[in-house]
Structure 1
Amino acid sequence: MDRRAVIKSAGIAGVLAAGVAPAVHAQAAIRWRLASSFPKSLDTIFGAAEVFAAKVKTMSGGKFEISTHAAGELMPAFGVVDGVQQGTVEVAHTAPYYFFGKNEVFALGCAIPFGLNSRQMTAWMFEGNGLKLMREFYAKYNIVNLPGGNTGAQMGGWYRKEIKSMADMKGLKFRVGGFAGKVIERMGGVPQNIPGGEIYQALEKGTIDAAEWVGPYDDLKLGFNKVAPFYYYPGWWEGGPELDFFINDKAWNGLSPENKAIVESAAAEAHVVMQARYDARNPAALKQLVASGTKLRPFSNDVMAEAFKHSEALYSELSGSNPDWKKIYADYSKFRTEQNLWFRFTEATFDRFMQNQKLA
């Protein structure tokens, strides 16, 4: 039987009826590796990478698998951008502001002091110009970015001594994530950028005087309450820090449209799940910390005001020295102004009222 003649004359229906199947080219299986900046012990933040990988595998019917690796397994926590840029791994899951040393603009993709809260950040990324602007910037590093989680507003960290005024910030050796260190430095502190898995030892040994991480759920698991008694709020430097999946551009461009859609959908689910977990688990953890003797304190108004002043001055300076910052921050700050005007009349008013009620 002439296979081509049958196909030509009978069409696909005839071919199937005749029991002659056309050649089918099976799609090759895809195997990626993901390098995280976080330890496996943190089921909230490292867990977002696991949610992402599991969803990709499920939606692809097992044809697209991503193995997840904690900080230090494939590369150091702060080496993941280089790893993706060089193609050592296909994807990383990280907090972009860790890499502000390469360019301060990395911080705009995550969090800056007195920046957007988590909902505002998601709005800027998905409905504003955020994703477009940051993707143009990350292209210089061979990276395609996808939002990959948010912790929500964070706590202000753990301190060996009280922070009653600006005088107490002088000389304070403070582990603080990423870009916020620039503001802490202007306030007289000594910022330290230490990976999450190394903070406890540094605080215990007195290498640092204070440390911040995320919030009650993670902080309780990491045991910071055992080595520092004072727990401050809010984390004014992280009102809504976004985590990202950084994908090597060649790996991304090698995907079919279907697989790109799968990766985007999986990242979006991980983005939602991370904050849902933090919001669900932080309340009970905070109660447990306070019950165990943690001394909860708000930052004083003068510390907050001074931090805000230094932050705004820094942004102005960067707009004069860094063209990438100037372009993206102009859009970011305009969006922030409009969002805070809106939230002032809705979210903030509603939240303040509800927080003052005695609920059953």
Structure 2
Amino acid sequence: MTTGARPPAGTHRPTSRDVARIAGVSQAAVSLVLGGKWRGRVAPATAERVRGAARELGYRPNLAARNLRLGSTRTALLVVPALTNEFFARVHHGARRIADRHGFGVVLYPTPDGTVPAHGAAPAPAAVRDPFHSAQAALDGVIASSMAADVLVTLRGESLPLVMLDSDPAAGPGTTTVNADVADGMRQTARHLLALGHRQMLHLAADVESWTFQARAAALADALAGTGATLHTRRAALGTEPARQAAETALGESGRPRPTAVICDDDILAAGACKAARRLGLHIPRDLSVTGFDDLTLATAVEPELTTVRLPAEHIGEHGMTALLDALDGRTGPPDTLPVELVVRGSTAPPP
């Protein structure tokens, strides 16, 4: 509920003084709340009252003037492997949601070559074009996926606060990490398939040099150790066609029992595995179970629908932006790990 008199409609552009009068607080409190500096200084109920008054008045801070005063652009850079990946689109949406509340902008920058194959040559950092004439002058901080880590030397330099997504929590001092619990996602997948009776399994692994995929592979191997299950690994680039080719080769190999389950590092690889099964005349899930990772829209577009690990992509973006705001305030928290969930659908069943 607001307390002050509203300025007559159409008389002048709303100011922070108007917001303060409507909310019944000082202009200093308005500046703290709308500048994202209120925690520990302004009560949450008061902060919400200020935001409500600003919305009611249609007040927008003069960012240019404020930035000149603060020596800040209030701009964060989000570095992702590719704009076409639905997962990172959701991450961006979550980051933007938090940024908007604090008067920040988010610049989205995809790496020039997408993800780097694990067995290919990464582009030299010097060859990556800086999207800004001077990143230090144009940005307040960086949020980056570990899948795009190769460009950070160029984009970040040594001075900007950094939050890493899908990155090793032990990366080192001065770096905040926000991760989905991908290791637990693989453990849940392994337990599900073991409970169905599967013992011959194929891991269709992403051919990308990234901590997140290394963590998945290690967790899967650990979860199957001592169970009597056999695990073979085939790597494929992140694409439906490379995945189809790799899975078709692995499923068609002679000299050892054919896998009864294919565990894929993401849903796109799983779609390729499903295409391979159809080409080989295998029915899913009667002859072959397939699991994915991410729970993209694709997971319910295929038939049968895909059993997959749901990652909280928007929450990862939200937590990443919150961690960056905290870092800009001089606060660095412990590694942030978000829970994941195995969503069981029609692509898994007991083995033949």
TM-score by length of 1: 0.37
Structure with bigger helix share is 1
Q: 1 or 2 for the larger relative contact order (CA 8 Å, sep ≥6)? A: 1
TM-score by length of 2: 0.38
